[in-house]
A and B are shown apart, each in its own frame.
Chain A
Amino acid sequence: MSLLQADALVVRRGGRPVVHGLSLALPPGEVTVILGPNGAGKTSLLTALAGLSVPASGGVTLDGVALAAMEPRARARRIGYLPQAPDLHWGLLVEAVVALGRLPHRGAFAGLAAEDRQAIATAMRLADVAALAGRPANQLSGGERARVLAARMIAGQPAVILADEPLANLDPRHQLEMLRLFRALADRGAAVALVLHDLSAAARIADRAVLMRDGKAVRQGRATEVLTPAALSLLFDVPVVRVETADGPALLPLGAIR
């Protein structure tokens, strides 16, 4: 079981600090939700956690080993990253896109091993894209595309999953399926971190939550303690109302329009 940990992390972009001395831990089996207004530094935090940017100071460790010291392929086998609006060039077939998730597990010229094929099949089943296998990925609908790209990440069987706004552009039905998928992955033992803007979705899936503003974690801890209407109102500067439902709490950002 892996533990991804950031310690006094500082990330600069164009000389300006965008993550400012942030510490957090992503425990296995739990979903951590990162919330904050636009420009709070959530994406910068996520890319640093994925080892894709070099921190100005502080560091990220995976089971005590600094990401900066890890071989890129070794790191890629352990950490899966789903960027906010991933590109999809060419008409790669869906199965080829998902197979890319196995890249860090394969030798330079090696074909797909039985183990790779199994991981791909499992990922396609979990993300419910098996029926799309032979279709060009760039001709799919937004929802299908998001699921295919998620399957690509899952196929790598990463112990740590980092996803940046995975619900963006999805209809309610696909949002729900995507949340179920991440929940299932955490239940299988992965450490999952999601950047979300949907407060209700966050409240329903999160085990832990980090509230970010100006590159700092203003609050973090158990989701039930952090995701309160009061804290979220303060964070986003809008009134937030909590409604209890049979499927869990719903947090609604409100405020008069007229």
Chain B
Amino acid sequence: MRPAALAAALALLVALAFLFNLSAGKVFIPPFGLAAGSADALIMAELRLPRALLALGIGAMLGAAGAALQGWLRNPLADPAVLGISASAALGSVLAIFLGAAATPAIVSAAGMAGAVVAMALLLLLVGGGASTTMFILAGVILSTLAGSLMALLISLAPTPFALGEIVTWSMGALTDRTMADAARALPFIALGLALLMPAARALDALSLGEETARSLGVRIGRMQALIMLGTGLGVGAGVAVSGVVGFVGLIVPHLLRPLAGEQPSAIILPSALGGAALLLTADALVRLVPGAQELKLGIAMALIGAPFFLLLLWRHRGRIG
């Protein structure tokens, strides 16, 4: 499909998913024509709109980050959650809460971004050493486990069982009951993160011919890595600080879009951002439609879809990765 046509089709999908996200819930609300001051208008403006905006931004960021990381590591299994970046962001946020910053969400967000950037820097150190694909996935697994364990440690040291419950609930990943203030805190950094990833796209194309060839083509590897590190770190970190860990978006979306967009890394980043937004908007609407008073946690829903998908990818690429 031609890039412009694909982008237009995906943008339309995002718009539809956005409207679906706004309307869907235990009670259906039409997104337009609500009487000002009615409960529905209040729900739309203060609960559903911030939620839809966050799903849009976080989905776009996770999709684009997945595509960029896959291009960078030349590995179709890379994803912010698989590589432990999301877990590290969560750890950063929990650490901030543990140290008493719960009342200052800006600090919690900043700590989330710092956690993600540190995780990216650790991965970068590994790439500098010329790590293989297997090594990366292993490093990601270890980073995820470590961050998860440290988080569990902090939670177990947390002063009250109620603060604990709150952190555990948040870490499972959800967009339930987020406020406009949450959206205002995350979205600018997500936009910045996306903006940093875009100029790295061409360099990623060159990187598909190997690092040496890329450098011979004038690519500044260090600059490209810094863009990916900061872009992914800031964007994913800011998102995780608000939503908790939502995995697998960056894994699923680029893979689904490659047959349409081609396999060139630069051709897949923007469509993956759009596709990620559409996927998360849809998934976040569907988790509200499960029967009963409760919602399904978005992070759990994505893991239920994503983990089998990861296994399928692994099975398809068996023998080619090592």
A residues near B (Cβ < 8 Å) are 47, 50, 52, 71-77, 79-81, 83, 86-93, 96-97, 100-101, 103-104, 106, 108-109, 136, 149, 152, 156
- Contact yes or no, B206 A72, CB < 8 A: no
Among B74, B209, B220, B263, the residue within 8 A (CB) of A100 is B209
Q: Separation in Å of the A48 CB from the closest CB of chain B?
A: 12
In the bound assembly, the distance between CA atoms of A76 and B217 in angstroms comes to: 5
- Contact yes or no, A76 B216, CB < 8 A: yes
Q: Separation in Å of the A202 CB from the closest CB of chain B?
A: 23
Among B74, B212, B218, the residue within 8 A (CB) of A103 is B218
Residue B219 interfacial (CB < 8 Å): yes
- Contact yes or no, A93 B262, CB < 8 A: yes
Residue B179 interfacial (CB < 8 Å): no
Complex interface residues of chain B between 146 and 202 (CB less than 8 A to chain A): 198-199, 202
For A81, the chain B residues whose CB sits under 8 A away are: 212-213, 216
In the bound assembly, the distance between CA atoms of A96 and B206 in angstroms comes to: 10
For B262, the chain A residues whose CB sits under 8 A away are: 91-93, 96
Residue B100 interfacial (CB < 8 Å): no
- Contact yes or no, B206 A103, CB < 8 A: yes
Q: Separation in Å of the A147 CB from the closest CB of chain B?
A: 14
Q: Could you pull out 5 A-B pairs where Cβ atoms are within 8 angstroms?
A: A81-B212, A87-B213, A92-B208, A96-B262, A104-B217
- Chain B residue at minimal CB-CB distance from A76: B218
Q: Separation in Å of the A156 CB from the closest CB of chain B?
A: 7
- Contact yes or no, B219 A72, CB < 8 A: yes
Q: Separation in Å of the A37 CB from the closest CB of chain B?
A: 23
In the bound assembly, the distance between CA atoms of A176 and B199 in angstroms comes to: 40
In the bound assembly, the distance between CA atoms of A100 and B217 in angstroms comes to: 8
- Contact yes or no, A136 B202, CB < 8 A: no
- Contact yes or no, B213 A83, CB < 8 A: yes
In the bound assembly, the distance between CA atoms of A218 and B35 in angstroms comes to: 90
Residue B132 interfacial (CB < 8 Å): no
Q: Separation in Å of the A158 CB from the closest CB of chain B?
A: 9
Contact with A along B119-140 (1 / 0, CB 8 A): 0000000000000000000000
Among B207, B213, B218, B264, the residue within 8 A (CB) of A96 is B264
For A92, the chain B residues whose CB sits under 8 A away are: 205, 208, 262-264
For B208, the chain A residues whose CB sits under 8 A away are: 87-90, 92
Contact with A along B207-227 (1 / 0, CB 8 A): 111101101111110000000
For A86, the chain B residues whose CB sits under 8 A away are: 209-210, 212-213
For A149, the chain B residues whose CB sits under 8 A away are: 209
- Chain A residue at minimal CB-CB distance from B215: A52
- Contact yes or no, B218 A97, CB < 8 A: no
Residue B276 interfacial (CB < 8 Å): no
Q: Separation in Å of the B254 CB from the closest CB of chain A?
A: 11
For A52, the chain B residues whose CB sits under 8 A away are: 212, 215-216
- Contact yes or no, B210 A77, CB < 8 A: no
Q: Separation in Å of the A155 CB from the closest CB of chain B?
A: 11
For B220, the chain A residues whose CB sits under 8 A away are: 72
For B210, the chain A residues whose CB sits under 8 A away are: 83, 86-87
Q: Separation in Å of the B160 CB from the closest CB of chain A?
A: 50
In the bound assembly, the distance between CA atoms of A81 and B219 in angstroms comes to: 13
Known pairs A81-B216, A87-B209, A103-B218; list 5 more (Cβ under 8 Å). Answer: A80-B216, A81-B212, A83-B213, A109-B199, A152-B209
Residue B57 interfacial (CB < 8 Å): no
- Chain B residue at minimal CB-CB distance from A73: B218
Contact with A along B34-76 (1 / 0, CB 8 A): 0000000000000000000000000000000000000000100
- Contact yes or no, B206 A90, CB < 8 A: no
For B205, the chain A residues whose CB sits under 8 A away are: 92, 96, 100, 103
Among all A-B residue pairs, the 6 with the closest Cβ atoms: A76-B218, A87-B210, A73-B218, A81-B216, A90-B263, A104-B218
Residue B244 interfacial (CB < 8 Å): no
- Contact yes or no, B74 A90, CB < 8 A: yes
Knowing A52-B212, A81-B213, A92-B263 touch, does A87 contact B206 (C-beta < 8 A)? no
